[in-house]
Structure 1
């Protein structure tokens, strides 16, 4: 018996002895200052951590042997170090990171959660579309980001007008008004501006796009019921960046764009300029345009000032002017008559001024002040009817971030003012004022468990010509990340949200807000929802990588705002029963030798309006959708891609069902001399379009009505051009 006890004790001692603690200190290679907030992880292991305000971190327990240690911090070059354990006498490993002015860490570090954590260490589930993919999507549609969103799993770009091409973005089956669109964290794309927003955000100056699906109200407030999409701009670096694009399509669209940026000493700048020309195009010869005649101009200069490495200021102004004319081709071409009279014109001016102060302290805490003022002026004309107005939005926020070795705390205050002023009648005049405070805590409980909890308190006053109301919202949020092992992880999250009432929705947009009565005696919509996912990755063999992400979601919206019709007028009421959207997304990725990539995405959405009798399925929403993409790429040399998308049946507003359909696209890009890239794109080359099944425009010709838009109206298109990067 004594023999076995001795053997067992020896085994325990041996095991304990083989478990090591690695002590690390990280510094800046030039200043030798300690770096806090550095993400440190052991390759092929769940062991990771973040350095404290002295740049120090202990990792344990680590087995004997050689280990690869990875170091990641925004603004510094990613670094790896091989360490052999055990170390003698608790030896301290000192690491120096080099500042990266050439490029940031692309999609590795997320910005939407404001924690500067890597995406692998963030409890909130975030999907990041990196600069490379954005560059690829710009080949397909340089004018705006609609193609980026259209081809992402779980997202749907919903066209709202057959003649003007206006569109909104749906997340997990819910109407566009439930998704918060952000540009660099500024929410200036809602209310009256929402129907044209994604058509006026160009991709040329974007560094990445971050998509949060599910409740996102803790940091971003009202309107983020279905999720938030943050379009993040590039910032200037020491090496200048100068990009140009020229694109031409067979449907008479021309795009000319340029982006330039550079930092020199204490000053930096970036500027984006883009001009889009589109001639009206009638693909099915029914006398009505599928793509409207349009002219769009955008200029966005930003000036940066860096008094020190820990303090920066940014002042920017974005100006966009758009003229769109769709409808009867004879009218557009200037030859109307008694039979050819219908048109729809949209004239918009959007001007947004932004200011930002960012202060980093020696202990790696930071203070940020953000201010924006946005003015959106829009005029809609159809025969014998005009609707026009100005939407003014002001956003002010101050936030403070505390970074420690095992937790991050974010707290902030914001003020949001939104006012719509209708010209002429003023019937739909409305305004709202929101005061909000929020707190979020992200905690590394262990190396394998990371928790996030948050709380927002908003007080909202909103009013119009009929009534005024004040409501207070208490919005908690929880999220967790579980690193089960080096290949398997899981995230879960849940929270509450709200959306204050508005008359500007997809339905009212599609009829140009005709015969619409102002809101009266309605309350804000409230939501509860959550997501859960499992992520698995493995090397099938040395050259083939496989990963899969399985995500489940559910959102319930109580007191949904519903459009009713009575005596030729439309008005909104709160329904007594909720809208419930639930389903799942599956994303699979194969990568062979880093050159050949296959993406497979599947979305199942079961969204129902329980206040309806009979058919309760939400209109214009496919229950099943499949995304496929096969890409072969030799970096800085050659790229070729084939994409396919399947869309299931959809219900129209009248209860009819649409057919299922496939659409396919093919793209080739060739780079010469590392500076010139020539591309050609065959979009929807199977010519899937709605008029193949039934005419979109209904008689009479001089006073037409239009069917709901449920797929492409323009059909097969070809575009190509050149990109120059200096």
Structure 2
């Protein structure tokens, strides 16, 4: 009997001690960030667990011996692994992002090297695949890429020359910084043409940050910034060509080459764009101007060792753009209204990246830009010519330090900007020399992991701004700005995240406003720019993001953003006495913009669907009066579907733009715009056809754009809808 009892006790002991616990830690392979909400399952059983906010989980009652476990998480590839139990060590599992996980793209604008998912600042990424799709629609410039982003409006400023500027969250284009690889090259006098002169085919991705970004980028980043990230050379050669023709008599020729040869690398991007004046509404005035543009962007890379990278690049662009009365443009008549924009851009870029010991890095950047532009109107309208030359430089030194739970960035930079009015005749009230401006800034930024679920990014910047006339040595009283900013990321689970951010910003005095651009800077006392104060702002953004896999083939993501920005002392044009002359002044009041954006993305196998809606309420509060900011659509809706396989890509898109307030207080008409694109792909390249705005929606269908005589026409003051109408384009891409 005792032997039987002893046998039962030993058996029970074997059963009890044959069950062990298994501890796991689950992280992202690329970002090395914890993954909360990952599911762990002991295969062949119902025994499972879910990782907590620290990415840890414990499987209990696991039998001894070899066991197979499966680990899965939303947005990551599932892993099945064999482990021998018992083990005293914590099993560390690294999950690889799935192909559909767009949030694993590395962000460069925030300089921390984090992914979108782990960055406390909200960043929207337009990646290479989407850029390739948009290039089928308009390979000549980037306007279509930004126009189709929620909360962004491309605002045309001229009927005949088709100049345009960029608005984010309802604010004018001067409040958005347009960068290339972190260099501010497309501001000032170039801003009215910049969107029309930047081709997209050498871009790796486009990063859009909405809201104040003053810490790292200083003046002008009030509404946000757009950073164009170009491709870098790799050991595998990249050689591609694109040829595109349009029903509007346009032709685009593009070529790109990149390769790394050991310690040297090179990229070369060349484009030539030709556009014949186009008049879809048959009023004898161009709705698309005659354009001839050539762009060259060579860049050389040197890798002297594994820790050092040096790059030096050149940007050259030459464009002649003329619109107006077609018989004059086609040389059938000598008299008639024309508007001519000639521009020449030469810019250099230099960058040194040096990785130091103890997870530190040093970056040195320098750029020089010379932009010359002339605007010429005909003798029939009193022979006006505005000819300006802008010289600007940018120099920055920054130091990055990575610690276990925090990243630090320290830096200093210097902007210089000089503008000279070189017009031979420009009216009696305009001074021949304008201004010089210098901005010296110091900044510090910290990104801190407070817990596995909470990260905080905070920063502080101090800028000293000096503006003075270029023909005197008298220095105007400098302005000093202390600019704090913060962004907080909360990971509630693998499906739910939220970001809250805000800060102060400013815009240094500039004469290059949308109002001045519409008037071609005519009858404006240019040197009044040194008499105005900088504009200041305060802003706040809050967004909630949800992402889940409904089935193995169906993924849903929803992002809801709320925003508010207040802009004090906005710079406007005001008449001088009872004359027709105008000057820049600070308005007595403020502008505020508030609203929300909703973005929904659904992916089912090879089908991608996107829905974006923005509500933007932007108002001016001047001199005790309050009204909506003109030409800002309160309601905008964007819907698109894309089907893509190895051989075929096809997509449909629809835009709705709601009513906008006119300058005279009236309201515009709402309208829809539809498009369709199809591309057939082979190993050597592809052939594509795009039907843009195939319903032929244009403003000339709603109202007359031009009245008066061919010699002295009167153009509609507000452009709120497309003027070019239906355009069909097509071409081919070669990859060698």
Query: Scaled by the length of structure 1, what TM-score is found?
Result: 0.89
Q: Secondary structure at the match of 2:524?
A: coil
2:292 aligned with 1:295, yes or no? yes
- Checking the alignment, whether the CA contact within 8 Å between 1:548 and 1:587 is kept in structure 2 is yes
Q: Secondary structure at the match of 2:117?
A: helix
Question: Structure 1 residue 69: deviation in Å?
Answer: 8.4
Question: Structure 1 residue 336: deviation in Å?
Answer: 2.5
Distance 1:90 1:159, change over 3 A: same
Corresponding residue of 2:711? 702
Q: Secondary structure at the match of 2:641?
A: strand
559, 563, 568: which is aligned to 2:573?
563
Question: Structure 1 residue 90: deviation in Å?
Answer: 2.5
201, 220, 234: which is aligned to 2:217?
220
Task: Tell me which moved more, 520-529 or 596-605.
Answer: 520-529
Q: 2: CA distance between counterparts of 1:269 and 1:161? A: 38
- Checking the alignment, whether the CA contact within 8 Å between 1:23 and 1:91 is kept in structure 2 is no
Q: 2: CA distance between counterparts of 1:623 and 1:151? A: 16
**Structure 2 matches for 1:146-295, cutoff 5 A?**
146-295=143-292
Question: Structure 1 residue 341: deviation in Å?
Answer: 1.4
Corresponding residue of 1:498? 506
Question: Structure 1 residue 557: deviation in Å?
Answer: 0.4
Question: Structure 1 residue 489: deviation in Å?
Answer: 0.7
Distance 1:654 1:25, change over 3 A: closer
Q: Secondary structure at the match of 2:541?
A: strand
- Checking the alignment, whether the CA contact within 8 Å between 1:144 and 1:201 is kept in structure 2 is yes
458, 461, 485: which is aligned to 2:463?
458
Question: Structure 1 residue 82: deviation in Å?
Answer: 4.8
319, 324, 328: which is aligned to 2:316?
319
Q: Secondary structure at the match of 1:619?
A: coil
**Structure 2 matches for 1:514-533, cutoff 5 A?**
514-517=522-525, 518-519=527-528, 521-533=531-543
Question: Structure 1 residue 630: deviation in Å?
Answer: 0.9
Q: Secondary structure at the match of 1:541?
A: coil
Q: Secondary structure at the match of 1:119?
A: coil
Distance 1:202 1:310, change over 3 A: same
Q: 2: CA distance between counterparts of 1:402 and 1:485? A: 29
Q: Secondary structure at the match of 2:451?
A: coil
Q: Secondary structure at the match of 1:493?
A: strand
2:491 aligned with 1:480, yes or no? no
Question: Structure 1 residue 506: deviation in Å?
Answer: 1.1
Question: Structure 1 residue 695: deviation in Å?
Answer: 1.5
2:597 aligned with 1:585, yes or no? yes
Question: Structure 1 residue 545: deviation in Å?
Answer: 1.3
Corresponding residue of 1:601? 612
Corresponding residue of 1:715? 725
424, 444, 447: which is aligned to 1:439?
444
Q: 2: CA distance between counterparts of 1:246 and 1:219? A: 38
2:659 aligned with 1:664, yes or no? no
Question: Structure 1 residue 132: deviation in Å?
Answer: 0.3
Corresponding residue of 1:118? 115
Question: Structure 1 residue 361: deviation in Å?
Answer: 2.3
Q: 2: CA distance between counterparts of 1:107 and 1:155? A: 24
Q: 2: CA distance between counterparts of 1:46 and 1:363? A: 35
2:676 aligned with 1:677, yes or no? no
Question: Structure 1 residue 701: deviation in Å?
Answer: 2.9
- Checking the alignment, whether the CA contact within 8 Å between 2:662 and 2:668 is kept in structure 1 is yes
Question: Structure 1 residue 615: deviation in Å?
Answer: 5.5
Question: Structure 1 residue 431: deviation in Å?
Answer: 1.4
Distance 1:487 1:372, change over 3 A: same
Corresponding residue of 2:35? 42
Structure 1 stretches of 5 or more lacking a match? 1-13, 27-36, 48-57, 98-103
Corresponding residue of 1:534? 544
Q: 2: CA distance between counterparts of 1:290 and 1:369? A: 44
Distance 1:161 1:78, change over 3 A: farther
Q: Secondary structure at the match of 1:197?
A: helix
- Checking the alignment, whether the CA contact within 8 Å between 2:171 and 2:593 is kept in structure 1 is yes
Query: Scaled by the length of structure 2, what TM-score is found?
Result: 0.88
2:702 aligned with 1:693, yes or no? yes
Corresponding residue of 1:724? 734
Q: Secondary structure at the match of 2:555?
A: strand
Q: 2: CA distance between counterparts of 1:704 and 1:509? A: 18
Corresponding residue of 2:516? 508
Corresponding residue of 2:350? 355
2:376 aligned with 1:381, yes or no? yes
Corresponding residue of 1:574? 586
Distance 1:295 1:446, change over 3 A: same
Distance 1:615 1:330, change over 3 A: farther
Question: Structure 1 residue 543: deviation in Å?
Answer: 2.0
Question: Structure 1 residue 25: deviation in Å?
Answer: 13
- Alignment RMSD, CA only? 2.7
Q: 2: CA distance between counterparts of 1:85 and 1:563? A: 76
Q: 1: CA distance between counterparts of 2:494 and 2:174? A: 39
- Checking the alignment, whether the CA contact within 8 Å between 1:153 and 1:603 is kept in structure 2 is yes
- Checking the alignment, whether the CA contact within 8 Å between 1:42 and 1:69 is kept in structure 2 is no
Corresponding residue of 1:410? 409
Corresponding residue of 2:43? none
Question: Structure 1 residue 84: deviation in Å?
Answer: 5.7
- Checking the alignment, whether the CA contact within 8 Å between 2:26 and 2:38 is kept in structure 1 is no
Q: 1: CA distance between counterparts of 2:370 and 2:58? A: 60
Q: Secondary structure at the match of 1:608?
A: strand
Distance 1:571 1:87, change over 3 A: farther
Q: Secondary structure at the match of 2:88?
A: helix
- Checking the alignment, whether the CA contact within 8 Å between 2:154 and 2:167 is kept in structure 1 is yes
Q: Secondary structure at the match of 2:589?
A: coil
Task: Tell me which moved more, 81-90 or 462-471.
Answer: 81-90
Corresponding residue of 2:10? none
- Checking the alignment, whether the CA contact within 8 Å between 1:349 and 1:378 is kept in structure 2 is yes
Q: 2: CA distance between counterparts of 1:288 and 1:83? A: 73
2:558 aligned with 1:548, yes or no? yes
Structure 2 stretches of 5 or more lacking a match? 1-16, 41-52, 61-68
- Checking the alignment, whether the CA contact within 8 Å between 1:587 and 1:599 is kept in structure 2 is yes
Corresponding residue of 2:89? 90
Distance 1:521 1:67, change over 3 A: farther
Distance 1:698 1:87, change over 3 A: farther
- Checking the alignment, whether the CA contact within 8 Å between 1:124 and 1:480 is kept in structure 2 is yes
Larger CA Rg, structure 1 vs 2: 2
- Checking the alignment, whether the CA contact within 8 Å between 1:64 and 1:86 is kept in structure 2 is no
- Checking the alignment, whether the CA contact within 8 Å between 2:365 and 2:395 is kept in structure 1 is yes
Number of residue-to-residue matches in the alignment: 676
